[in-house]
Amino acid sequence: MKDTVLIAGAAHTDRIHDSATKHVTGRADYTDDIAMPEGTLHAYLGVSEVAHATLRGIDYTDVLATPGVIGVLTAGDVPGVNDISPTGRNDEPVFPTDLIQFHGQPLFAVVAETRDIARRAAQKAKIDCEALPHALDPIAAQAAGYGHVTAPLRLERGYVGPALETAPNRIQGRMTVGGQDHMYLEGQIAFAIPGEDDDVVVHCSTQHPSEAQHMVAHVLGVPSNAVVVNVRRMGGGFGGKESQMNLFAAVAAMAAKKWNRAVKIRPDRDQDMTATGKRHDFVIDYDVAFDAAGRIQAVDGSFAARCGYSADLSGPVTDRALFHADNAYFYPKVRLISHPMKTNTVSNTAFRGFGGPQGVIAAERIIEEIAYATGQDPLDVRKTNFYGGPGRNLTPYHQEVKDNILDRLVTELEETAAYRQRRADIIAFNAGSPVLRKGIALTPVKFGISFTATWYNQAGALVHVYNDGSIHLNHGGTEMGQGLNTKVAQVVAEAFQVDFDRIKITKTTTEKVPNTSATAASSGTDLNGMAALNAVEQIKARLVAFAAETWNVDPAEVVFHANEVHIGAETLGFDAFIRQAYLARVQLSAAGFYKTPKIHWDRDKGQGRPFYYYAYGAACSEVTIDTLTGEYRVDRTDILHDVGRSLNPVLDKGQVEGAFIQGMGWLTTEELWWDEAGRLRTHAPSTYKIPLASDRPRAFNVRLADWSENRELTIKRSKAVGEPPFMLGISVFEALSMAVASVADYRTCPRLDAPATPERVLMAVARLRAGG
């Protein structure tokens, strides 16, 4: 009876996003849409125009003389601690006092009657500073003797040195992988309303309300209980609102308290993109030993990242790059080292995959190198090196891979996508096509699920059943479009056996669930779904006990089913039953809690079980390139992705499709370009090009591996879906690489760096044609 669908919106069924109707009518409220109280003021940031300098002083005379300006907010106005470092390193001031560390760094805020006045006035400050030499990328930073922003990580198993030196085949190479701007459609925004005593309420577009709360309290010098942070929904996050909202929340709250007026701050798109962090770009050096069959013997990898001027989340991001530098492959001997380099650029941050994609693409490059060197189909080299078989399941961080389904998944995709036949056809096509060339690649992903900061793997929820039978659901996760609220509400609907519409999903607020973790690391549903289920189970246990006692039946005879409650021979509607329970003084509210079991991680030793489980997937992409211009088109992509037992297949499929396109964008047209002065010149959609509808694969077949079930006891045996499919975009990159390689008869692995813009594709073609 349990899984028979007789309610609307049960678990494991397709369900429309709970806000879909509001989205399409424009009635979904984002932070900037909230009605403002009388007298609301607006703040705007003033920023540096040099990349590195000693800050001697700022003259605000002309700013303050501007009609409509209320005042400026400076480092000296910080009542508490002038620091918003999310990792407690005290290296990220709200506003710097004596050192400018990147072009576009916020230095102060102007507060005025309107946003337009504040924005214009912010340009009138005279900044007195003395330029210092700057280093923009990790290689320049290493040359300039810059340090790490956070401690490097080393993962090691066996001795790689001797293995490399005595290897029958050895390849050394370097790959540069670009960063990525989040380009969430709704930019950063915070809106603070002062209250009595120390209190302040901040509406903020954030994936991490608890951190915004703690940061605001830290900066204001008040206890966390004085600060409430609310978010109903975000217009996209992708990691860009995991820590980057701290600045805006802090400025809005400080200004609100200073002037005792509501204050909103919303940067324009250019300031959003120049003043907030992005995906880390990496320079990866690899050294690999392999046998004649292409089986890897040892890998030595060095991962230097552009972290920016402060640590932010660079520690865990660069760690995760190493955790995924094996992707799906067993490295018998391995040494992986991260170099989280300080640079005079904006501090880089979380972005979907959190360093993982940069690790995975290194593994895929190594595979491609071996394939070209041994003259094999790269898919064969991939399969040869998959985890599996005796003694071949240990990761570089000493976690055993126990849930590997890649053999089945990849073989299934290989067949449904007709990979082998198409590859043969493509090679034949290329032989007769002088200008247009094709490529095809089938790449897998294995992605570890859990925050590597073990304490983050906890969540809370608050469920109320009102005495009319309506249900209020609140949890610590945030909704940024991924459908988290919908999926958690499905879990609740299923557990109570009531229709989905009976459940009201309410805004995320630090008042209802405290000490939450970021909605990040793909963990939203895993954690919050379990916490909500725990709350429901508590209420249900009370209801069952009440029914068993009142109706004098065995508790096993109390069954919730299809908007009804069966008690022995009697059946009551859910509403009527709840009414009875209320009158009998049964507590109809519960706080739920969950913490992920089994995980542990010792960073100093580089050993442990950081991940509860792995999610898997694979994609096969075919492309055509124009060897005269480097332009390209993705002809077809087939995806088979593992989400365990999906809670909502249609929403999960939407995540897979969207993540693939975003991953493809990262590796194709999305290019971050700094000039020599350290100014980011691709800082708005006019210059920074995310994929459009016409960049989609011309044929796009996406399926979920519906036979998969999480072997761990996750929420209803589902798996996380947010990040893993992002890396399926790598199939496009490797297909482009094959098309390029065709001009030199596939003898050489192309030196193609990411993003593979048309320029990089053409230049790679030109180099290969020139024999280089």
By annotation, the residues acting in catalysis are 723
Q: Which of the residues 446 through 485 are near another protein (CB under 8 A)?
A: 480-483
* Minimum CB distance to another protein smaller for 124 or for 170: 124
Supply the Cα-derived Rg of the chain in whole angstroms: 27
* Minimum CB distance to another protein smaller for 259 or for 429: 429
| Closest residue by Cα to residue 639 from 747, 728, 737, 735 | 728
- 16 binding another protein? (CB under 8 A): yes
* Minimum CB distance to another protein smaller for 66 or for 169: 66
Q: Taking the complex as a whole, how short is the minimal distance between the CB of residue 29 and another protein, in angstroms?
A: 7
Out of 147, 673, 677, 706, the only residue in the binding site for another protein (CB under 8 A) is 673
- 185 binding another protein? (CB under 8 A): yes
Residue 630, both tokens: 């480097």
| Closest residue by Cα to residue 510 from 458, 455, 460, 440 | 460
Q: Taking the complex as a whole, how short is the minimal distance between the CB of residue 683 and another protein, in angstroms?
A: 9
* Minimum CB distance to another protein smaller for 556 or for 693: 693
| Closest residue by Cα to residue 451 from 208, 92, 185, 200 | 208
Non-local (6+) Cβ contacts of 314 within 8 A are 149, 150, 280, 305, 307, 308, 340, 347, 348, 349
* Contact code string over 120-159 relative to another protein, x by CB under 8 A: x--x------------------------------------
Verify cis geometry, omega within 30 degrees of 0, for the bond prior to 755.
yes
Residue 164, both tokens: 């490399």
Residue 190, both tokens: 């915070």
- 677 binding another protein? (CB under 8 A): no
Out of 119, 208, 333, 502, the only residue in the binding site for another protein (CB under 8 A) is 119
Rounded to the nearest 10 degrees, the angle between the axes of helix 209-220 and helix 246-259 is 50
Non-local (6+) Cβ contacts of 770 within 8 A are none
Out of 129, 135, 216, 762, the only residue in the binding site for another protein (CB under 8 A) is 762
- 700 binding another protein? (CB under 8 A): yes
Rounded to the nearest 10 degrees, the angle between the axes of helix 484-496 and helix 524-551 is 20
* Minimum CB distance to another protein smaller for 386 or for 660: 660
- How many helices (H) and strands (E) would you count in the chain? 19, 29
* Minimum CB distance to another protein smaller for 138 or for 235: 235
621, amino acid identity: S
The span from the CA of 375 to the CA of 255, in Å, is: 64
Q: Are 525 and 487 in contact, with CB atoms under 8 Å apart?
A: yes
* Minimum CB distance to another protein smaller for 241 or for 257: 241
Rounded to the nearest 10 degrees, the angle between the axes of helix 649-667 and helix 730-741 is 40
Location of structure tokens 């494991």 = 12
Q: Taking the complex as a whole, how short is the minimal distance between the CB of residue 54 and another protein, in angstroms?
A: 28
| Closest residue by Cα to residue 183 from 124, 231, 236 | 236
Q: Which of the residues 260 through 289 are near another protein (CB under 8 A)?
A: 268-270
- 26 binding another protein? (CB under 8 A): yes
Strand partners, 177: 282, 754
Q: Among the candidate windows 49-57, 248-256, 676-684, 708-716, which touches another protein by CB under 8 A?
A: 676-684
The span from the CA of 659 to the CA of 653, in Å, is: 10
- 766 binding another protein? (CB under 8 A): yes
Q: For residues 216-247, b (16+ Cβ closer than 10 Å) or e, as one string?
A: bbbbbebebebbbbbbbbbbbbbbbbbbbbbb
DSSP annotation string for 5-65: --STT-TTS----TTHHHHHHT----GGGSPPPTT-EEEEEEE-SSSSEEEEEEE-HHHHT
- 37 binding another protein? (CB under 8 A): no
Q: Among the candidate windows 297-305, 489-497, 648-656, 715-723, which touches another protein by CB under 8 A?
A: 648-656
Out of 128, 468, 602, 631, the only residue in the binding site for another protein (CB under 8 A) is 631
SS3 state of residue 694 = helix
Q: Taking the complex as a whole, how short is the minimal distance between the CB of residue 694 and another protein, in angstroms?
A: 4
* Minimum CB distance to another protein smaller for 391 or for 434: 434
- 702 binding another protein? (CB under 8 A): yes
Out of 5, 20, 424, 713, the only residue in the binding site for another protein (CB under 8 A) is 20
- 552 binding another protein? (CB under 8 A): no
78, amino acid identity: V
Q: Taking the complex as a whole, how short is the minimal distance between the CB of residue 724 and another protein, in angstroms?
A: 15
Q: Taking the complex as a whole, how short is the minimal distance between the CB of residue 120 and another protein, in angstroms?
A: 6
Q: Among the candidate windows 439-447, 457-465, 573-581, 759-767, which touches another protein by CB under 8 A?
A: 759-767
- 734 binding another protein? (CB under 8 A): no
The span from the CA of 674 to the CA of 678, in Å, is: 6
- 632 binding another protein? (CB under 8 A): yes
Q: Among the candidate windows 185-193, 281-289, 353-361, 533-541, which touches another protein by CB under 8 A?
A: 185-193
* Minimum CB distance to another protein smaller for 136 or for 661: 661
- 747 binding another protein? (CB under 8 A): no
Q: Taking the complex as a whole, how short is the minimal distance between the CB of residue 481 and another protein, in angstroms?
A: 3
Out of 651, 715, 721, 741, the only residue in the binding site for another protein (CB under 8 A) is 651
- 630 binding another protein? (CB under 8 A): yes
- 682 binding another protein? (CB under 8 A): yes
Q: Which of the residues 414 through 433 are near another protein (CB under 8 A)?
A: 432-433
SS3 state of residue 655 = helix
Q: Taking the complex as a whole, how short is the minimal distance between the CB of residue 484 and another protein, in angstroms?
A: 11
Q: Among the candidate windows 5-13, 43-51, 600-608, 647-655, which touches another protein by CB under 8 A?
A: 647-655
- 524 binding another protein? (CB under 8 A): no
Burial class, 653, CB count within 10 angstroms (exposed 0-12 / middle 13-18 / buried 19+): buried
Q: Taking the complex as a whole, how short is the minimal distance between the CB of residue 631 and another protein, in angstroms?
A: 6
Location of structure tokens 């050489």 = 748
Burial class, 252, CB count within 10 angstroms (exposed 0-12 / middle 13-18 / buried 19+): buried
Q: H or E segment at 750?
A: none
Q: List C-alpha distances in Å: 672 to 284, 638, 661.
A: 18, 29, 18
Q: Taking the complex as a whole, how short is the minimal distance between the CB of residue 443 and another protein, in angstroms?
A: 17
- 32 binding another protein? (CB under 8 A): yes
Out of 154, 561, 579, 689, the only residue in the binding site for another protein (CB under 8 A) is 689
Specify whether the backbone of 396 is left (phi greater than 0), alpha (psi in -120 to 50) or beta.
alpha
The span from the CA of 322 to the CA of 607, in Å, is: 12
**Would strands 169-177 and 282-290 be described as parallel, antiparallel, or unpaired?**
antiparallel
Q: Among the candidate windows 5-13, 72-80, 534-542, 629-637, which touches another protein by CB under 8 A?
A: 629-637
Q: Which of the residues 205 through 244 are near another protein (CB under 8 A)?
A: 233-238
* Minimum CB distance to another protein smaller for 319 or for 723: 723
Q: Taking the complex as a whole, how short is the minimal distance between the CB of residue 62 and another protein, in angstroms?
A: 15
Q: Terminal CA-to-CA distance of the chain, rounded, Å?
A: 66
132, amino acid identity: L
Out of 126, 402, 598, 681, the only residue in the binding site for another protein (CB under 8 A) is 681
* Contact code string over 68-107 relative to another protein, x by CB under 8 A: ----------------------------------------
- 671 binding another protein? (CB under 8 A): yes
